[in-house]
Amino acid sequence: MSIEGTVKNGVVVLRGRRKLPDGTTVLVTVKAVSRKRRAKANRSTLADKLLKLAGAAGPGLPADLARNHDHYLYGVPKK
């Protein structure tokens, strides 16, 4: 029997809904992967990109900036 799958975070994920019983001995044959497919697998998600920006505004900003941003931008009264 031959079942294909992919590696995600170091774990082999089988294609489809196939399950093998615990303790099953398997033989893994690695296929060559194209550069395009490898690049797609290593692509960052939007969440990964946004997490890199977390805290990038820097120190020195007012503690109530999120609540009173209109005050700091346009001069409206603070909330």
CA 51 to chain centre: 9
CA distance 24 to 34: 30
CA 56 to chain centre: 19
Q: Mean pLDDT, the chain, as a whole number?
A: 84
Reading the block at residue 42, the tokens are 């290593």
**Predicted structure pTM score:** 0.35
CA distance 50 to 12: 28
More confident residue, 40 or 16: 16
Q: Give me the residue spans of the domains in the chain.
A: 1-53
At residue 75 the predicted structure's pLDDT band, cuts being 50, 70 and 90, is very high
Most confident of 24-28, 42-46, 75-79: 75-79
pLDDT of residue 50: 86
Reading the block at residue 70, the tokens are 């209109």
Q: What are phi and psi of 8, to 5 degrees?
A: -130, 120
